[in-house]
Amino acid sequence: MNHISVFSTGKLWEIDMARDALKQAGIPHFVREENLSGLRTAFPAAPAPGVGVTWCLMVPESIVEDAMQILNELSIDINKQPGFWDFTSDPRSIKGFKIFIWISLLIIVFFIIIEILYIFL
């Protein structure tokens, strides 16, 4: 049986709403977690939102229309594609992660330069 992704998001509360709606309607489904590396796994027992982590709601191909009808009634945008920063809508969180990444990269480059100087001097 082929399964089709009917909804993807990086926000945990959105995937929980969609799962609950399908469960109440008796529509078989499962959730797959995906990350930036391309790794796809089953929905974990303790999911952790983060940069580049998304969840896809999968349903059997034969009942995609029924699932879409139920999901369209929810107060979430089921047609959007999740982005890199989709796990949060708070711009301060995004800015904090970017600052952390830049500081980490600068520290790594600093130590690489120190090692290169140590080797050649």
- Mean pLDDT, the chain, whole residue set: 86
The predicted-structure confidence for 27-86, as pLDDT tens digits, reads as follows 999 998 888 777 777 777 777 777 778 889 999 999 999 999 999 898 888 888 787 677
Residues 103 and 121 in one domain: yes
The answer to whether the CB of 51 falls within 8 A of the CB of 86 is no
Domain count, the chain: 2
Residues 39 and 82 in one domain: yes
What is the pTM for the complete model shown?
A: 0.68
- CB neighbours (10 Å) of residue 7? 27
Q: Which residues of 55-87 are buried (b: 16+ CB within 10 A; e: fewer)?
A: bbbbbbeebbebbeebbeeeebebeeebeebbb
- Give whole-number Cα distances, 88 to 36, 44, 74, 80, 94, in Å: 16, 19, 19, 15, 8
Residues 79 and 106 in one domain: no
Residues 71 and 115 in one domain: no
pLDDT at 95 over 90: no
Question: What is the side-by-side strand order in the sheet with 30-34?
Answer: 3-9, 54-60, 30-34, 40-42
The domain in which residue 45 lies consists of 3-88
What pLDDT does residue 106 have? 96
Cα gap 76→70, rounded to integer Å: 12
Which residue blocks in the chain are alpha helix, DSSP H?
12-25, 64-72, 91-120
Residues 79 and 97 in one domain: no
Residues 22 and 62 in one domain: yes
Residues 10 and 69 in one domain: yes
**Among 107, 84, 103, CA closest to 94:** 84
Residues 83 and 95 in one domain: no
Residues 76 and 103 in one domain: no
Please report, as a single letter, which amino acid is at residue 55. W
Residues 40 and 80 in one domain: yes
More confident residue, 37 or 25: 25
Residues 13 and 69 in one domain: yes
